[in-house]
């Protein structure tokens, strides 16, 4: 795996994030917080979870820190609060990714899982996990947004690459 490929995948993730957050801007706060039959229980839950996982993995990769819990969705009372946090995280992730060289991607990252278990993976594997995890989360968010009448449109990678 090369840095350029990782950057492309994270640009894709940022593009999807922008489309989803922009579509979510049409919702009322009640819709944003409404319970839903998705893995994180609401649109806020899904988007806060995607944010928390990206921040967690960046910390693990960048500094070796292993927080013992994810940032809670309750930290984000509304969509603007989440959008602000996302902008900051995306800038931090982009700066981190830009600092890498191709050979860095094969480095082994040692960390503790949220359950406290020791783990290790190559850096490129951990970064791909962030992108892959986001794919499921954003698909669930897009489904909810579409049900509310605010579809983010096509979010497949091929539409980003065109």
Contact 65, 141 (CB under 8 A): no
Buried b (16+ CB within 10 A) or exposed e, 2-25: ebeebeebbebbbebbebbbebbe
Domain CATH for 136: 1.20.120.450
**Arithmetic mean of pLDDT, 149-159:** 97
Residue-range definition of the domain harbouring residue 117: 3-161
Residue 126 has pLDDT above 90, yes or no: yes
pLDDT in tens, 54-91: 999 999 999 988 888 888 889 998 999 999 999 999 99
pLDDT in tens, 110-121: 999 999 999 999
Domain count within the chain: 1
pTM of the predicted protein model: 0.93
**How much is the mean pLDDT over the chain?**
95
């Amino acid at each position: 795996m090369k840095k350029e490929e990782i950057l492309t995948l994270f640009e894709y993730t940022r593009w999807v994030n922008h489309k989803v957050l922009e579509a979510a801007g049409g919702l009322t706060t009640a819709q944003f917080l409404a319970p839903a039959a998705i893995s994180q229980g609401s649109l806020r839950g899904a988007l806060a979870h995607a944010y928390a996982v990206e921040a967690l993995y960046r910390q693990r990769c960048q500094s070796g820190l292993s927080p013992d819990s994810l940032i809670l969705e309750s930290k984000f009372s509304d969509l603007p609060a989440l959008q602000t946090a996302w902008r900051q995280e995306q800038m931090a992730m982009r700066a981190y990714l830009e600092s890498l060289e191709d050979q860095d991607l094969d480095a082994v990252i040692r960390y503790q899982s949220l359950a406290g278990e020791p783990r290790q993976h190559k850096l490129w594997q951990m970064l791909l996990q962030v992108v892959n995890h986001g794919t499921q989360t954003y698909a669930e968010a897009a489904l909810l947004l579409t049900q509310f009448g605010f579809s983010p449109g096509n979010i497949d990678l091929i539409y980003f690459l065109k």
